[in-house]
Amino acid sequence: MTTGRLPHNEQHILDEMERALRRDRRLDRQLRTLRLRRGPDLTRTAAYRPRPTTVGLLLAVSIGLLVTGMDTSEPGVIWAFAAVWPLALFAVSRLLRGRAERRRS
C-alpha cells in the first residue's frame, strides 16, 4: 500500500468519521481515562490561587502542629507538621504573588 494522499472522496469520508468521533463525549472520556500520565500536571499547580481563609487555616494548623510537636515530641505530630508546613508556605507565596500581580495591573 502506498503512503500517498487519499482520493478526495475518501479524505472527505475520513474527515466526517473524525468529526463524529470528536463529538462522542463518552468515547472521549473513556480515552482520557486510559491515557498514562507521565508526571504531575504542573499547569494546575501553577494556576493555583488560594483563598486567604485557606492560607490562614493552613498556617494555624501548621503552627498548632509545631507547638504540639515541640511539647510532646511525638513522631506522628512532627511528621504531620513536616507535611503541612511546605503546603502552607506554598499557599502563602501564591497568595502574595497574586496580590502583587493585581497591584501592578
What are 11-54's pLDDT values in tens digits?
A: 899 999 888 888 888 887 777 777 666 666 677 777 778 899 99
Counting runs of H as helices and runs of E as strands, what totals does the chain give? 5, 0
> 69 or 98: which carries more pLDDT confidence?
69
pTM comes to 0.56
Chain position carrying cell 486567604: 52
Residues 23, 18: Cα–Cα separation, whole Å:
9
- Using DSSP's 3-state secondary structure scheme, residue 99 falls into helix
